[in-house]
Amino acid sequence: DFLFFWGAVFLITTTLVALLKKENKELTPTKEETKGITDTYRLLFSIIKMPAVLTFCLMILTAKVGFSAADAVTGLKLVEEGVPKEHLALLAVPMVPLQIILPLVISKYTAGPQPLNTFYKAMPFRLLLGLEFAFLVWWTPKVRHEGGFPVYYYIVVLLSYALHQITLYSMYVAIMAFNAKVSDPLIGGTYMTLLNTVSNLGGNWPSTVALWLVDPLTVKECAGAPDQTCRTLAAAEV
């Protein structure tokens, strides 16, 4: 019902924009150097070839490898250990005000001449939180009882998520501030889109690889079959 309602709103509003909004026929001169798609991609290629941009792209493509597993797998492992999905979803609700406030607070520290300093300072804390998440997954089955999980367990999870959000947004806002700062104003939109796309890709590919590696790296034991390692899918089925 939720998706249907907003889908209908989306269709109605976009249709009204298409029917009622009129284009401005008077052409206004623009400072953008690109005039079409071909020019834009040619310009993007010339930007990527710049040594500083190439080095920066390599950095942001690999910077998030260290905490990809913690970000992508922790929630799934908690569910696997018996934490109800609806309880984890409810824990996301208190994070919303935090996610609204954090960029406002962090932007004060990224507005200076060196916005990436915040990125560097947040990284070791986020790496340490990855270890804390691993401990949380190990601790989860030990506190579970017949009635579920105690209240203090959810408080620990909530605090862990809150600290994670602080480090995550510190790095996110810092990288966005840096991208905005270094982008050439003449081609600002093209320049920023390129850097932000590479930054998003740098967060997505390590998470995908981490999820793919979960099964082969998970230690399995076969109950009642001591000679079986259960490492392969076929062995586990047997």
3-state SS record for 194-219: HHHHHHHHHHHHHHHHHHHHHHHHCC
pTM, full prediction: 0.77
DSSP 65: G
**CA–CA dist 34, 117 (Å, integer):** 33
3-state secondary structure at position 145: strand
Residue 191, judged by CB atoms within 10 A of its CB (0-12, 13-18, 19+), counts as buried
For the domain spanning 38-214, the CATH number is: 1.20.1250
Q: What is the pLDDT along the chain (238 residues), one digit of tens a residue?
A: 999 999 999 999 999 999 998 877 766 555 555 567 787 788 888 888 889 999 999 999 999 999 999 999 999 999 988 899 999 889 888 888 988 999 888 988 888 888 899 999 999 999 999 999 999 999 999 998 887 889 999 999 999 999 999 999 999 999 999 988 888 877 767 888 888 999 999 999 999 999 999 888 887 777 777 777 777 777 777 7
Residue with the two structure tokens 């493509």: 61
Place of tokens 């998440």: 133
Question: Are 33 and 186 contacting, i.e. CB atoms less than 8 angstroms apart?
Answer: yes
DSSP state of 172: H
Distance of alpha carbon 137 from the chain centroid? 20
Non-local CB neighbours of 191 within 8 Å, separated by 6+ positions? 47, 179, 182, 183, 184
What is the domain partition of the chain in residue ranges? 38-214
Question: What is the DSSP secondary structure assignment for residue 32, as one 8-state letter?
Answer: -
